[in-house]
Amino acid sequence: MNIYSCFDLNTADNFCQRLIKLSRKYADFRKALTDTRLHEIICLYIYSLETFTLDVQTLQDMARQIRLDDLKTVYRAKAGHIGGEMSAIDILTTLYFHTLNIDPTQPNKPTRDRFILSKGHTACALYTTLAHRGFIELDELSTFLQPHSRLNGHPNRNKVPGVETNTGALGHGLPIGIGMAKAAQLSGEGWRVFVLCGDGELQEGSNWEAAMAAAHFKLDNLTLIVDHNRLQQGARVHDTNALAPIADKFAAFGWATTAVDGHDIAQLREAFDKRSATAGQPTCIVANTFKGQGISFMQDKVEWHHKVPNKEQYEQAVEELQAAM
Ligand SMILES: Cc1ncc(C[n+]2csc(CCOP(=O)(O)OP(=O)(O)O)c2C)c(N)n1
Ligand SMILES: [Mg+2]
């Protein structure tokens, strides 16, 4: 159901204008509202205001809420990739609530920025972020992995608004992102392309062909973010096929590189805002993260790649995430 169907736009507009005068902070609205639909309308309205920027505290609150909803969704579905979801959620929140020029009411707008979740196994974190950003309804998260749901274990661009590319087979997001960035370059349009990949994923050779091509084509509208949680499926990256130093390798391929704390939203904001450190160079941001971030017993533990919490673990995780809010 369309989000506006319970209010006409003028009513929602007037109501939101009044609320915005009272407070420009999303977090204040959130506390004040109990009705989910009203909350969604207001979110949509706020995020569509060009002049509105969320402060770091509000982005952190949003990231905690997304972590909580991701956890609930995985627990309900009894499947998911919770470790890599928790490591990516601060990155997703910063992109979707600060950086990306996107409009949930026009998911296919030609001039939108593109984001590709190359580590597609963490689809649930993307769906949860898209739901909070207004691309899908929050209620739909309860259908994750259910028969006939469009919220599959890996994202599908033909089903879910806001998903740009089907991913899941690792090593394809960057090559596809290069095609998109080349298209923007050829058309002279200013939109940007962001790709988020895993560190284990970088063991796929296709990434390094893509890295060469991006530098060759001088794609300074392309940003690769590496979720550097140092774990892959079943093992540490270092013990499987060591990649360090990742930033130096991209630099050798002709990329501008930077490293940030991938859970520090202020650092992420600053790094994502820069179109490119050097004209003509694509950018690689190595985001140092922890798998399972935010939940003590999951953090930096290899088994939480796709383990599902039992009842006691779930309750403890909810408690920890709520205490942080
Ligand atoms: C081509 C391919 N090979 C294997 C897999 C199975 N697989 C799913 S997740 C994963 C580990 C990915 O590790 P990483 O990229 O570090 O992701 P994260 O730590 O963020 O979960 C593997 C091997 C896959 N999805 N695609
Ligand atoms: Mg990893």
Provide the edge-to-edge strand list for the sheet that holds 193-198.
Answer: 114-117, 193-198, 222-228, 283-288, 256-261
**Helices vs. strands in the chain: H and E counts, helices first:** 12, 5
In which residue are the tokens 């890599």 written? Answer: 84
Low-confidence residues of the chain: pLDDT under 50: 1-8, 22-25, 50-51
Task: Report which ligand 1 atom has the smallest distance to the Cα of 204.
Answer: 1
CA–CA distance from 194 to each of 9, 26, 45, 180, 229 (Å)?
32, 25, 24, 10, 19
**193-198 and 256-261 beta bridge pairing:** unpaired
Atom 16 of ligand 1, nearest CA residue: 200
- Angle CA(157)–CA(162)–CA(167) in degrees, nearest 5? 40
pLDDT of 239-265, one tens digit each? 999 999 999 999 999 999 999 999 999
Q: Is the CB of 262 under 6 A from ligand 1?
A: no
Residue 114's φ and ψ, nearest 5 degrees, are -110, 140
Span from the CA of 152 to the centroid of ligand 1 (angstroms): 16
| Alpha carbon 259 to chain centroid, angstroms | 18
pLDDT of 147-160, one tens digit each? 999 999 999 999 99
Q: Mind listing the domains of the chain with CATH numbers?
A: 53-323 (3.40.50.970)
Provide the residue type at 113 as one letter: D
pLDDT at 275: 78
Q: Could you tell me if 165 and 157 are in contact, meaning their C-beta atoms sit under 8 angstroms apart?
A: yes
Q: How many C-beta atoms lie closer than 10 Å to residue 23's C-beta? A: 12
d(CA 28, CA 80): 31
pTM: 0.88
Atom 25 of ligand 1, nearest CA residue: 169
| 68 token code pair | 């909580």
pLDDT at 50: 44
Q: Could you tell me if 117 and 124 are in contact, meaning their C-beta atoms sit under 8 angstroms apart?
A: no
